[in-house]
Structure 1
Amino acid sequence: MARVETGRVRRPAAARREQILAVAADAFAVAGFRGTSLAEVAQKVGVSQPGLLHHFDSKESLILAVLQQRDLQDEQHVEAQFQGVEVTTREWLMAFCRRNETQPGLVRLFTVQSAESLNPAHPAHDFFYQRNQRVRERIARLIVADQEKGRLSPSLDPAATAAELVSLMNGLQLQWLRDPATDMCGLFETSLLRLEAVPGTKA
């Protein structure tokens, strides 16, 4: 049970860590990495700054923990949907799109941090580079599998098509964040269906 000491609520370490990550995600999404201070996060959490640093020893480690946690949770959520099932390129990508529709704050976080991390000095620069490579490679493998099953045209270049789809999804997310009325997933699925509309291929 949580205890109150010196005006603050003492939470179990794991619960406090989760609380810090949630508050930090909101702060980074709104103000970016440079515009967010550890003092601000600590105040919103209800801990001292040294107390926050007990869990994350720097702002750099905090932003990386936020991004890594979100990425892992999304991957686990989607992979659980297709456990033991052969998934198509469209099904896999649409599962992520539908997931993103439910968490605009986290989509904003990734959009803001992805742009900021173009600066090589940004602490998430390598994270986003490696993530982009990993996602594109995963999509390319799905495309190859779909081509082998006759679902997609063999004329498609898997790597180039994967890069195009990632760029499309990123662009649609930005439009959706600017105007929530944008049918992000509907537009994305329409583009994916065009790839499947190949004469002579199997459904």
Structure 2
Amino acid sequence: MTESEPVKRGPYRKTEARRREIIAAALQVFSASGYRGGSLKDIGALIDIDPSTILHHFPTKEALLEAVLEDKEAHDVQGMPELATIDPATIPAQFIALAELNNQIPGVIALYAIMSAESTTDGHPSAEYFRARTEHTRRTFRTGFQRMADAGLLAPGITADYAALSTFALWDGAQIHWLIDPEAVSVTETLRTHLQSITIVKIQ
């Protein structure tokens, strides 16, 4: 901690701890029931508080959803490799490492799978978030695969556009199958096989 950073103590620390507890409970409920199916009562029941207490920390259910999505965004930023700057030959391995990291947080992956599908319905509060997030992820993937193409590392006939879209779609789809039947599906191995088929890089 630097001298310029405030020390969190007293009521502030308790408030922040309660906010984190509510976000974690909301993640669990939204992952199981979706945003519209999961209620503030369900969230409160997990941590033995009333919905009014939740609304003290988050003025609306939509504000709570935004906080949950911000938490996931922070995780994504920490896990996503810098595809624009790293050695292009290491990009497939970086994807595999991120898939392995995601294996440790099935609740977060379930939230993303359910909410991204639910966001396509009329009037959903996270529609813009998922539209922008999808575009950003696809663009990031394309940047990495274009660098691989420029280095001659994509398989013959594979373009950066195809590599980005197919990898993104397969990864999302494999995660849904994994959530349904984790014993039968390995996201990491499915992704590894795909990346080996569209690149000429040997992936460990």
Q: If the TM-score is normalised by the length of the shorter chain, which range does it land in?
A: 0.7 to 0.9
Structure 2: unaligned runs, 5 residues or longer: 1-8
Determine the structure 2 residue equivalent to 1:184. 187
1:61-100 alignment runs, 5 A limit: 61-79=63-81, 85-86=86-87, 88-100=90-102
Task: Give distance in 2, aligned partners of 1:55 and 1:90.
Answer: 41
Determine the structure 2 residue equivalent to 1:51. 53
The Cα shift of 1:126 comes to 0.8
1:160 matched to 2:162: yes
Task: Give distance in 1, aligned partners of 2:101 and 2:130.
Answer: 19
The Cα shift of 1:11 comes to 6.2
Q: What number of residue pairs does the alignment pair up?
A: 190
Counterpart residue identity of residue 53, structure 2: G
Cα separation, partners in 2 of 1:86 and 1:14, compared to 1, 3 Å: farther
What are the superposed Cα offsets for residues 140-172 of structure 1, whole Å, 9 maximum, x if unpaired?
A: 000111112222247433223211111101111
Range with greater deviation from structure 2 (91-100 or 169-178): 91-100
Task: Give distance in 2, aligned partners of 1:79 and 1:145.
Answer: 14
Cα separation, partners in 2 of 1:166 and 1:187, compared to 1, 3 Å: same
Task: Give distance in 2, aligned partners of 1:36 and 1:183.
Answer: 28
User: Percent sequence identity over matched residues?
Assistant: 28
Task: Give distance in 2, aligned partners of 1:164 and 1:61.
Answer: 33
Range with greater deviation from structure 2 (11-20 or 140-149): 11-20
Determine the structure 1 residue equivalent to 2:4. none
In the alignment, which of 119, 122, 143 is matched to residue 120 of structure 1? Answer: 122
Determine the structure 2 residue equivalent to 1:110. 112
The Cα shift of 1:46 comes to 3.2
The Cα shift of 1:177 comes to 1.0
The Cα shift of 1:78 comes to 4.0
The Cα shift of 1:32 comes to 1.1
Checking the alignment, whether the CA contact within 8 Å between 1:89 and 1:139 is kept in structure 2 is: no
Checking the alignment, whether the CA contact within 8 Å between 2:138 and 2:164 is kept in structure 1 is: yes
What are the superposed Cα offsets for residues 88-107 of structure 1, whole Å, 9 maximum, x if unpaired?
A: 43123222211111111111
Task: Give distance in 1, aligned partners of 2:53 and 2:125.
Answer: 22
Task: Give distance in 2, aligned partners of 1:159 and 1:92.
Answer: 19
Determine the structure 1 residue equivalent to 2:15. 13
Cα separation, partners in 2 of 1:168 and 1:77, compared to 1, 3 Å: closer
1:175 matched to 2:177: yes
Structure 1: unaligned runs, 5 residues or longer: 4-9, 199-203
TM-score scaled by structure 1? 0.83
Cα separation, partners in 2 of 1:79 and 1:46, compared to 1, 3 Å: farther
TM-score scaled by structure 2? 0.83
Alpha-carbon RMSD: 2.5
Counterpart residue identity of residue 86, structure 1: D
Determine the structure 1 residue equivalent to 2:198. 195
Range with greater deviation from structure 2 (135-144 or 150-159): 150-159
Determine the structure 2 residue equivalent to 1:201. none
Checking the alignment, whether the CA contact within 8 Å between 2:119 and 2:126 is kept in structure 1 is: yes
Cα separation, partners in 2 of 1:162 and 1:79, compared to 1, 3 Å: closer
Task: Give distance in 1, aligned partners of 2:132 and 2:67.
Answer: 15
